[in-house]
């Protein structure tokens, strides 16, 4: 049995192989494993040595296993000892194993290829600093039309958010009734993977040009985010300055750390506070957006938990009300992600007034 790393060139976790057991060391808090086990025999066991935080992220999800590297099923873990999770594999041969449903450049290339003929779709590359972010644009540009932004894969390794955004692109590219209802009144911008590096690199790998560390890739409030994120932020700010911002939703994933998909907005940022009619609108919109979302739950947060993230920056600097959702992988994978995408698009289409998203 050999261990080959297969996912966009990332570095595999340390491992050792003894007889028919391979053990990966994910301590102290390494959450993500994406590897190909080549030439396994039936009955091989895959074990993970995990810290407390990693166990919280993956234990209730199970080990993700695939034969083709495209679609994964979750196998439940045995907790054979404190800090040790293990799974037995019934079949031999080549097996892909993961702790998060992989989404990287190969998936993005497949999406670009398979949707390229959609009549209402254009694709732009947001290039900056030698990096490029594909931006999927749906709908007609027209003065006064709201622009909805859906951004997945913003934080390192949070692949479920990318799968939801991917499913959104496919739903709108299909040209069905949902696409027509939404695009008759608004333009839609979708980013499944802002950075080719955000699929594989650990959160601490992002730095400014001066070498100062950033929180994952999502600190919009930083003076110099990584260049692809700075360009994405500029595009959103342009929409705000045109007075056309409708929904901005960043799509994250807390893996299986919680068994629900939680959506929120924040009420305060910097010197800005959402009050009165705008607060009531935001609460009502939040309840509409989460309606029917698999495992969905809504929450109003007083303030951001980490300063400078998109909804904190946009509220503090531009007075914009925006939203975040965290997708769970506890008890759901691709079917749940696709269902989440459809409901989010349906619910966005159901909101008829986006004016309060921006200050009057």
Q: What is the pLDDT of residues 44-103, one digit of tens each?
A: 999 999 999 999 999 999 999 999 888 899 999 998 788 999 999 998 899 999 999 999
pTM above 0.85, yes or no: yes
Residues in contact with 97: Cβ distance below 8 Å, sequence separation at least 6, in sequence order = 33, 34, 35, 37, 46, 63, 64, 65, 66
Percent of the chain scoring above 90 in pLDDT: 71
Domains (ranges, CATH) in the chain?
2-98 (2.60.40.3120), 105-357 (3.40.630.10)
Is the predicted pLDDT of residue 203 greater than 60, yes or no? no
Beta partners for residue 4, in sequence order: 36
C-alpha span between 6 and 153 (Å, rounded): 19
Question: Band of the pLDDT at 226, cuts 50, 70, 90?
Answer: confident
C-alpha span between 200 and 62 (Å, rounded): 20
Residue 38 or residue 200, greater confidence: 38
Helices (H), the chain: 52-58, 105-115, 159-173, 177-183, 227-241, 276-290, 310-318, 334-350
Would you state the pLDDT for residue 229? 84
End-to-end, the C-alpha distance of the chain in Å comes to 63
DSSP secondary structure letter of residue 10: P
Contact 246, 349 (CB under 8 A): no
Question: Band of the pLDDT at 7, cuts 50, 70, 90?
Answer: low
Would you state the pLDDT for residue 212? 62
Count of other CB atoms within 10 angstroms of residue 327: 29
Would you state the pLDDT for residue 28? 84
Beta partners for residue 330, in sequence order: none
Angle between helices 334-350 and 159-173 (to 10 degrees): 60
Angle between helices 276-290 and 334-350 (to 10 degrees): 140
Which of 351, 358, 275 lies closest to 320, judged by CA?
Answer: 358
Six-digit token string for 300: 């109003």
Residue 140, by phi and psi: left (phi above 0), alpha (psi -120 to 50) or beta? beta
Would you state the pLDDT for residue 181? 96
- Cα angle 171, 294, 268 (rounded to 5 degrees) comes to 95
- For range 105-128, the mean pLDDT: 92
C-alpha span between 36 and 69 (Å, rounded): 8
- For range 219-243, the mean pLDDT: 89
Question: Band of the pLDDT at 6, cuts 50, 70, 90?
Answer: low
Question: Band of the pLDDT at 194, cuts 50, 70, 90?
Answer: confident
**Alpha-carbon distances, residue 296 vs 60, 287, 290, 322, 339 (angstroms):** 17, 10, 6, 17, 11
**Alpha-carbon distances, residue 70 vs 106, 172, 326 (angstroms):** 10, 22, 23
Mean pLDDT over each residue of the chain, to the nearest integer: 91
**pLDDT one-digit tens code per residue, 240-289:** 999 999 999 999 999 999 999 999 999 999 999 999 999 999 999 999 99
- Order of strands across the sheet with 121-128? 121-128, 131-138, 187-191, 147-152, 245-255, 323-328, 261-266, 296-301
Which of 4-8, 88-92, 162-166, 352-356 is predicted with the least confidence, judged by mean pLDDT?
4-8
């Amino acid at each position: 049995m050999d261990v080959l790393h297969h996912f966009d060139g990332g570095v595999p976790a340390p491992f050792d192989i003894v007889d028919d057991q391979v053990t990966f060391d994910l301590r102290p808090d390494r959450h993500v494993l994406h590897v190909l086990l080549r030439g396994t025999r039936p009955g091989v066991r895959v074990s993970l040595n995990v810290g407390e935080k990693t166990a919280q992220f993956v234990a209730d999800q199970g080990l993700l296993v695939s034969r083709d590297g495209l679609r994964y099923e979750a196998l439940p873990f045995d907790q054979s000892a404190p800090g040790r999770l293990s799974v037995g594999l019934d079949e031999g041969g080549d097996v892909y194993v993961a702790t998060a449903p992989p989404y990287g450049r190969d998936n993005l290339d497949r999406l670009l290829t398979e949707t390229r003929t959609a009549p209402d779709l254009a694709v732009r590359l947001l290039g900056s600093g030698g990096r490029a972010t594909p931006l999927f644009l749906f709908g007609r540009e027209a003065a006064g039309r709201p622009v909805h932004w859906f951004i997945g894969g913003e934080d390192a390794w949070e692949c479920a958010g990318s799968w939801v955004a991917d499913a959104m692109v496919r739903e709108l590219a299909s040209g069905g009734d949902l696409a027509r209802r939404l695009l008759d009144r608004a333009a839609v911008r979708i980013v499944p993977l802002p950075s080719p590096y955000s699929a594989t690199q650990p959160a601490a790998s992002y730095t400014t040009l001066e070498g100062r560390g950033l929180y994952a890739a999502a600190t919009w409030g930083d003076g110099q985010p990584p260049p692809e994120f700075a360009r994405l932020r500029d595009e959103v700010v342009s929409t705000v300055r045109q007075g056309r911002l409708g929904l901005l939703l960043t799509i994250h994933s807390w893996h299986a750390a919680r068994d629900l998909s939680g959506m929120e907005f924040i009420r305060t940022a910097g010197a800005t506070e959402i009050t009165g009619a705008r607060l009531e609108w935001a609460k009502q919109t939040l309840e509409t957006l989460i309606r029917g979302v698999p495992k969905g739950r809504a929450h109003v947060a007083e303030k951001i938990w980490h300063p400078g993230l998109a909804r904190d920056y946009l509220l503090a600097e531009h007075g914009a009300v925006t939203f975040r959702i965290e997708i769970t992988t506890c008890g759901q994978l691709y079917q749940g992600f696709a269902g989440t995408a459809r409901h989010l698009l349906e619910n966005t289409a159901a909101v008829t007034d986006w004016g309060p998203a921006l200050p009057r």
